[in-house]
Amino acid sequence: MSNSKILFKISGSIAAYKSADVISKLVQAGHEVQAVVTNSALNFIGPATLEGLTGKPVMSDSFKEGRMMAHIDLVKWADLTILAPATATSINRLGYGLGEDLVSALFLAHDWAKPYFVAPAMNTKMLSHPATREGLERLKKWGVCVLSPNDGTLACGDVGPGRMMEPADILAAIQPFLEKTIRPSVLLTAGGTKEPIDTARFISNMSSGKTAAAVAERFIQHNWEVTYLASKESVKPNGQNKSVEFSSSKNLQIELDKLLSENSFDAVIHLAAVSDFAPIHSNKMSKISSNQDTLILEMERTPKLVNAIREKCKNKNMRLIAFKFTATNNSATIKEKVKKLFQNSGADWIVQNDVSSRKDGVQSDFNLFDQNGEISSVNHATELGDLLENMLKKVIL
């Protein structure tokens, strides 16, 4: 294992003893760890313990020490930052941008090209409070990886969620980010296109982007560089990713071509639901009168964007995964449609799912094909993400 520089932040919780275990394991594995603590954390773990584990002086409230600018260099130094335990107070300070101590001030200077983990630890009621929930959601949207707390008996005697994740699980979660290898890159498209009829109306489809977001999160969690090209209304993944938006099929084509020509993606996963047809004469300058008794729209076929991905991609060794959404339970018909998509797109794999497996806006039952036929199937989008990530990792890394 290669050496990584880890900024380990600790806030005031009885769970701080677990942090000592994590730090010890990281140092034993050859990593360099710098501990940064809140003043309240020192009520639960002594600086001598942390200095003994890390071999470095513990850093605390910068305002008392008057060395804020020197401490900002820690952000540049660190390859990875983790706040464990993260109390409700520390989470809300981060979530609301309050740089009141060194832990929160350093967060305001965080380099978002680097991973940031938070391991909550608190009473169940504090965890479920709207302010805490909102703070955690805000952190996720910014790119923070939240390590979900466990259920169990808490320090106060209550039973429920709020126990900080166990040290072994924390280490497993951050392990992929400690490997100093070149990160593979993947482009995912997500959501449905909106084809304008006039300034107020459009034609769209029922794609929500939920499947794509779940798949993207698995790649993010395994330290891929993820570019997420999605409709504005599409569900977005948690974690660090480059987000690009599109509206119509024409707009998607422009953004897709640009990304493919400028980046050497290792893989492209095309999940976006692109309209097959678009109005020929859309009135983009005004609204069609609602006084009309009838309205006739003349439509034209839109380009099959997936068919041009391989040709336009800067990396000619890119792996392509296409999706086929069907409306039939006839296996022969499904196989024929999948075969045709293979021929037209040059995809390496195709994921097929059917409209009959969609319930309450959530898609399930995904079938994975290669050129020789069906090779695997999973029920849920998170399982699909694991399947695709593992498969691509084997052929790319």
Catalytic positions are 156
Contact 278, 252 (CB under 8 A): no
Tokens read off for 296:
């006739």
Tokens read off for 90:
């520390």
| Measured distance CA(316)–CA(296) in Å, rounded | 43
Residue 226: closest CA among 187, 268, 190, 174: 187
| Measured distance CA(25)–CA(285) in Å, rounded | 63
> Residue 342 in 3-state DSSP?
helix
Contacting residues for 331 by C-beta, under 8 A, at least 6 apart: none
Amino acid at 91: I
Tokens read off for 302:
């839109």
| Measured distance CA(243)–CA(169) in Å, rounded | 29
Contact 119, 147 (CB under 8 A): yes
The 3 state secondary structure assigned to 169-205 is HHHHHHHHHHCCCCCCEEEEEECECCEECECCCEECC
- Residue 80 has, within 13 A of its CA and on its CB side, a CA count of 23
Residue 373: closest CA among 357, 396, 350, 355: 350
Contact 238, 141 (CB under 8 A): yes
Contacting residues for 345 by C-beta, under 8 A, at least 6 apart: 304, 306, 307, 309, 310, 320, 322
Contacting residues for 319 by C-beta, under 8 A, at least 6 apart: 266, 267, 268, 348, 349, 392, 395, 396
